[in-house]
Amino acid sequence: MEEKDWASGATDWLDKKEETEQGWKDRAAQERKILEEQGPGLWDEIRREFDVQRDAFNQREGRDVLTVVTGSPKKVTVFAKMSDGEQREMTAAFTDDYSIEYHAGVTDVEPDRSGKFKMSVTNENELVLLNKDNVAYVAKTIADHALNALIGRP
Contact 130, 122 (CB under 8 A): no
Structural domain harbouring 57: 2-151
Phi, psi (rounded to 5 degrees) for 95: -90, 165
SS3 for 75-91 is EEEEEEECCCCCEEEEE
What's the rounded Cα separation, in Å, for the pair 99 and 75? Answer: 12
Query: pLDDT tens digit string along 92-147?
Result: 999 999 999 999 999 999 999 999 999 999 999 999 999 999 999 999 999 999 99
Query: pTM here?
Result: 0.83
Contact 39, 127 (CB under 8 A): yes
Q: How far does Cα 76 stand from its chain's mean position?
A: 14
Query: pLDDT tens digit string along 17-71?
Result: 888 888 788 888 999 999 999 999 999 999 999 999 999 999 999 999 999 999 8
Our count of domains for the chain comes to 1
